[in-house]
Structure 1
Amino acid sequence: MSYRRETRASKAALVDGYNSIEEGGLGASSSYSSDITEHENDEALDSLKDRVFFLKQLSGDIHDEVRSHNRFLDRMGNEMDASRGILSGTLNRFKMVFERKSGRGMCKLVGFLVTFFILFYYLIRVLRHSM
């Protein structure tokens, strides 16, 4: 606290010296006006400290949020890579099936069954809505 008083005293001396120089050295400076401006400066400084503290907290929160999102995106990227590996393996198996003549017949049969079940599903759905 004494440091603050010393700072205030030195600031007041500077302001008083500046005022006396401005007025031509007549020494008519007022300590009351310097106390008011000092008080306003302290209030402005306190307000600025509060704003800086708030911005520091806000930037810390943003940093934490960004770090959390980066971890989430990394996990999602790893899962996508794993899915890509599984999908490419499945596509390679389909290629092997299509290359065999018996595999083509099997694919036609699977296609027919899928089409049959889709038509059956829509038929049941239409009948339910018409009742």
Structure 2
Amino acid sequence: MSYRRDHRASRGALLDNLDSLEEGGLRASSSYSNDNDDHNEKAMDSLHDRVRFLKKLTGDVHEEVESHKRMLDRMGNEMDASRGIMSGTMDRFKMVFDKKSNRRACKLAMYFVILFFALYYIIRVLFNFMYG
């Protein structure tokens, strides 16, 4: 019988140890839960800050896109205006080149321009050679 008492006592001690382990486990789990909650709060705060930053960044990008859109619209309008001016200029050139006398005058002016650039280049090369 003493064996049974010892067995019951050891069994009771074992069960008490298991109960204390479970309680400790619960306490550890509760402590772990508090640490996990703190970690989750920090992660949420960090995520909130990132979302706020991204929201500000997308707002800035939107403003920049709108600014570029307005600039491109103005540039398109200016290009349309310059296209009108260029077509008028081309019409005038066509009228000038339709007549033979005007064509000769344009050729003569073009020859003078080419001669001017050639003389300028020659004088510049000679000047650099002599004084450079």
TM-score, scaled relative to structure 2: 0.71
**AA paired with 1:62?**
V
Q: What's 2:85 paired with?
A: 86
Q: What's 1:59 paired with?
A: 58
Deviations 1:30-70 (A, max 9, x none): 33222221111111100100110111111111111111222
Gaps of 5+ in 2: 1-21
Percent sequence identity is 57
Give the alignment partner of residue 26 of structure 2, picking from 24, 29, 35. Answer: 29
Q: How far apart, CA to CA, are the structure 2 residues paired with 1:124 and 1:86?
A: 37
Moved more, 92-101 or 79-88: 79-88
Deviations 1:48-98 (A, max 9, x none): 001101111111111111112222222222222222211111111010011
Structure with more of its chain in helix, by fraction: 2
Which entry has the higher C-alpha Rg, 1 or 2?
2
Which structure has more relative contact order (CA 8 Å, sep 6+)? It is: 1
Structural mapping, 1:1-131, within 5 Å = 29-30=26-27, 31-131=30-130
Q: How far apart, CA to CA, are the structure 2 residues paired with 1:63 and 1:114?
A: 51
**AA paired with 1:29?**
L
Gaps of 5+ in 1: 1-25
Q: How far apart, CA to CA, are the structure 2 residues paired with 1:45 and 1:122?
A: 72
**AA paired with 1:113?**
F
Moved more, 98-107 or 75-84: 75-84
Q: 1:72 to 1:128 in 2, by over 3 A?
A: farther
Q: 1:128 to 1:74 in 2, by over 3 A?
A: farther
> What is the total number of aligned residue pairs between the two structures?
106
TM-score, scaled relative to structure 1: 0.71
